[in-house]
Structure 1
Amino acid sequence: MMPWFRRFAPDPDPPVRLLCFPHAGGAASAYRGLSALRPGGAEVLAVQYPGRQDRFAEPCLESIGALADAVHAALAPDQTATPLALFGHSMGALVAYEVARRIEHGGGTVEVLAVSGRVGPGVRPEAGADGERRLEEAELIEEVRALGGVSDELLDDRDLLQLALPALRADFHAVRTYRGPSGPLLRCPVVAVKGAEDPRVTTAGATAWRSSTSGPFALRTLPGGHFYRTGQLDEVGGVLTEVLGPPTRRPQRIGQVT
């Protein structure tokens, strides 16, 4: 399991495993609460990117493709033998999507891809003449403040901020340089979830995930901004429980999530 995956509530024989991908600057611990909820009876595996928490000494990866390649390579046969669903928030939605593409390209199956707080992979909100320019420190901090999810105390504490900056720089660069998919559509169902007041993810942007799959698609909107999940863990777990039903019912269940 180490170093890429964390199990906070191990289950040797779950009906489905839910592989969860953190946001930019985030870590596996962001999914500790969801692990305890076990949505749909799933065992939650939380991805731990290098350059943070217990992997702090490792160099960060600076592209979505490199992250997806590494996660896909780390998936053991016993993890993919059990039905596998993916969930990612913000940057994690892109990494989850790219891992799903790699699984399907290799002949595997993804039960459901749930993407949160991110526009479809063909939409580039960071596009522009300086889209690939690395943000200056002040610009990066302003971006993080605008999205929320990181306390002002951390951003105003110079010592703590210096510990967080390498991961934030790498992750924001990965998102800003991501160019979207090329190749066949996914076959798995896709469910997009967004906060109603998210300043970066419009309804149209979230609905653009429909173009990523030939399978069923649904959009769910919950109250809140980009980090709507904060304080709404039960609601997020409820959405995932709805879509992680028995395989024969999944398309119908996903069609009911609006």
Structure 2
Amino acid sequence: MAFASSPWLRTFKTTPGTPRTDLVCFPPAGGSASAYHGLAKELAPGIAVAAVQYPGRQDRLDDPMIDTIEGTASAIAEAITASRSAGRPLALFGHSMGASVAFETARALHERGAAPAHLIISGRIPPHHPRDTAFHKATDADLITELERLANNPASVQILREVPEIAEMVLPSVRNDYKAVETYHYQSATPSLDCPLTVFVADDDPTVTVEQSREWARHTTGPFDLVTFPGRHFYLDEQTEAVAKNIATVIGG
């Protein structure tokens, strides 16, 4: 097995024989490991896929949530180090908030002498850009409005308004994760990584532009590449096959 049992990791794909690459995927705000079921199915057979399961959701509903990017990343770095054997390349892929967590996890692994072989960032503004939003302090109605703004189909979020019981289950983790994002302050005058860094961005993402995405290059001394996709913030849901093909090309799976 590519990844040993861990509360933080859910293995979605194991391949016959020995995988060539391990990939850990980081969900967006309010998300859970199951967000990457579809992507795991599309990825090449040489890639062993695990997704992060943040506390406070699904089978970790009773586990205390962590409301900082750095604290979450530190715990995940420890879990990754403990759950896999050295030898195969490790790649990290994170979307939206998950991209920030993946970046900080890569930094934490680098400090442990176990830097990833590749970091893939998706749909995220570079960490040196300050955020001036405070949705984690907003009313439930305003927080739902923000989720509708980001959704490919705003109607898909309507259930949070129509069924209060579902909102009561979903919004606490969303609010917690928004707090982590909105209170995250990256401080470093020099690149934190030396691994290759690839950025995926949708051409109509309301949270980050293509030009802003290019600025991720300053955060590694390694090779940098940018890949654009058609769509909005959650383009992954509509471009799963294309995303999988690009990931496989990037990490050599």
Q: TM-score, normalised by structure 1?
A: 0.88
Aligned to 2:12: 8
Report SS of the residue matched to 2:235: coil
Q: In the alignment, which of 31, 38, 42 is matched to residue 26 of structure 1?
A: 31
Q: Which runs of 5+ in 1 are unaligned?
A: 247-258
1:212 matched to 2:219? The reply is: yes
1:197 matched to 2:204? The reply is: yes
Q: In the alignment, which of 137, 141, 147 is matched to residue 144 of structure 1?
A: 147
Q: Determine the C-alpha separation between the residues in 2 that align with 1:170 and 1:84.
A: 28
Q: Determine the C-alpha separation between the residues in 2 that align with 1:58 and 1:17.
A: 26
Tell me, yes or no, if the aligned pair for 1:19 and 1:85 is still in contact at 8 Å: yes
Identity of aligned residues (%): 40
Aligned to 1:251: none
Structure 1 residues 161, 241: closer, same or farther in 2, change over 3 A? Answer: same
1:173 matched to 2:179? The reply is: yes
Tell me, yes or no, if the aligned pair for 1:132 and 1:177 is still in contact at 8 Å: no
Tell me, yes or no, if the aligned pair for 2:147 and 2:157 is still in contact at 8 Å: no
TM-superposed CA distance for 1:133, in Å, is 6.7
Of 108-117 and 237-246, more deviation after overlay is shown by: 237-246
Structure 1 residues 94, 38: closer, same or farther in 2, change over 3 A? Answer: same
Q: In the alignment, which of 86, 96, 100 is matched to residue 92 of structure 2?
A: 86
Of 23-32 and 155-164, more deviation after overlay is shown by: 155-164
TM-superposed CA distance for 1:39, in Å, is 3.7
1:102-159 Cα deviation digits (max 9, x unpaired) = 11111113111000010111112x32xx659723322211211111167224322211
Report SS of the residue matched to 1:75: helix
Q: Determine the C-alpha separation between the residues in 2 that align with 1:36 and 1:89.
A: 17
Q: What pairs up with 1:72-83 in 2 under 5 angstroms?
A: 72-77=77-82, 79-81=84-86, 82-83=88-89
Report SS of the residue matched to 2:104: helix
Tell me, yes or no, if the aligned pair for 1:83 and 1:110 is still in contact at 8 Å: yes
Aligned to 1:42: 47
Q: Determine the C-alpha separation between the residues in 1 that align with 2:37 and 2:136.
A: 34
Tell me, yes or no, if the aligned pair for 1:114 and 1:191 is still in contact at 8 Å: yes
Task: Let me know the Cα RMSD of the aligned residues.
Answer: 1.9
Q: In the alignment, which of 224, 227, 236 is matched to residue 229 of structure 1?
A: 236
TM-superposed CA distance for 1:65, in Å, is 0.6
TM-superposed CA distance for 1:37, in Å, is 2.0
Of 69-78 and 221-230, more deviation after overlay is shown by: 69-78
Q: In the alignment, which of 103, 107, 110 is matched to residue 104 of structure 1?
A: 110
Q: Determine the C-alpha separation between the residues in 2 that align with 1:132 and 1:235.
A: 32
Aligned amino acid, residue 3 of structure 1: P
Q: In the alignment, which of 220, 242, 251 is matched to residue 249 of structure 2?
A: 242
Of 74-83 and 155-164, more deviation after overlay is shown by: 74-83
Structure 1 residues 239, 85: closer, same or farther in 2, change over 3 A? Answer: same
Q: TM-score, normalised by structure 2?
A: 0.90
Tell me, yes or no, if the aligned pair for 1:60 and 1:166 is still in contact at 8 Å: no
Q: Determine the C-alpha separation between the residues in 2 that align with 1:64 and 1:80.
A: 25
Tell me, yes or no, if the aligned pair for 2:54 and 2:60 is still in contact at 8 Å: yes
1:151-204 Cα deviation digits (max 9, x unpaired) = 224322211011001100100000000111436520001101011111111112
Moved over 4 A (4+): 130-133
Tell me, yes or no, if the aligned pair for 1:34 and 1:44 is still in contact at 8 Å: no
1:160 matched to 2:163? The reply is: no
Tell me, yes or no, if the aligned pair for 2:69 and 2:180 is still in contact at 8 Å: yes
Aligned amino acid, residue 31 of structure 2: G
Report SS of the residue matched to 1:85: strand
Aligned amino acid, residue 201 of structure 1: V
1:60-113 Cα deviation digits (max 9, x unpaired) = 110101100110111245625121000000000000000000111111131110
Tell me, yes or no, if the aligned pair for 1:122 and 1:208 is still in contact at 8 Å: no
